[in-house]
A = this chain, B = another copy of it.
Amino acid sequence: MARPRKNEHIKEQLLNVGLETLLTNGYHGTGIKEVLDKLGVPKGSFYHYFRSKEVFAAEVIKFYADDLNHRLSAAVADKGELGLPALKHAFRLLVSEHKEGSGGCILGALASEIAETSDVCRLALQTEVDNWHCMMMVIIQQGQDTGEIRTDLDARMLAKMAWNCWEGSVLRMKIEGRPDPTEEVVEVMFDAMLKAH
């Protein structure tokens, strides 16, 4: 891979620190100054890359989702799995990241906090959640073709239910202060609720 140019490097660093800060302090609790101070980057540089805090948050959403989709696709492809085992493999990876203290899912966190008040962020979230659903739909469809996953509900609906259940379990993980609820969803949701009878 070509080495990123200096400018790309700064932008990526801003997005990285932004992601971490947004996950810890939320949108309203994140100050641009705090992000800049952590990196020793001047204010002008920030506004060179991002028109506003809102646009910055929208780019963090895309940055996070791109990285996650890339890692999950690679992990699933690497194992050569399809259908239910691929789905469980991908979600188990997420569980293990939560166990290491990932800080949760920025899509769920920003959806909860600002989707209703920022159209810029809402649209970024919608794009990424739609992408997620599409990725999951492909895998679920494979499982339906092999007869392993139930077919009384279509792949899109099953993907939506799995996403809902997963995001709810991330909230419960935060409430219980331990990642067990996410682990539970991977076992129960996929095995007992998506599996064909």
Contacts and interface: CB of A to CB of B under 8 A. Distances in A.
Q: Give the residue among A104, A125, A165 with the most B Cβ atoms within 10 A.
A: A165
Contacts of A167: 164, 167-168, 171-172
Interface residues of A, number: 47
A129 B192 contact: no
A168 B173 CA distance: 13
Given A26-B26, A167-B168, A167-B171, A181 B160 contact: yes
Interface in A1-49: 24-29
29 contacts: A24-B116, A26-B28, A26-B29, A27-B28, A28-B29, A104-B116, A109-B113, A111-B172, A122-B175, A125-B175, A126-B175, A129-B172, A153-B188, A157-B184, A157-B188, A160-B181, A160-B184, A161-B165, A161-B185, A161-B189, A163-B168, A164-B164, A164-B166, A164-B168, A164-B169, A164-B171, A164-B172, A167-B171, A197-B197
5 pairs of A and B residues whose beta carbons are closest in the complex: A164-B168, A28-B29, A167-B168, A115-B174, A28-B28
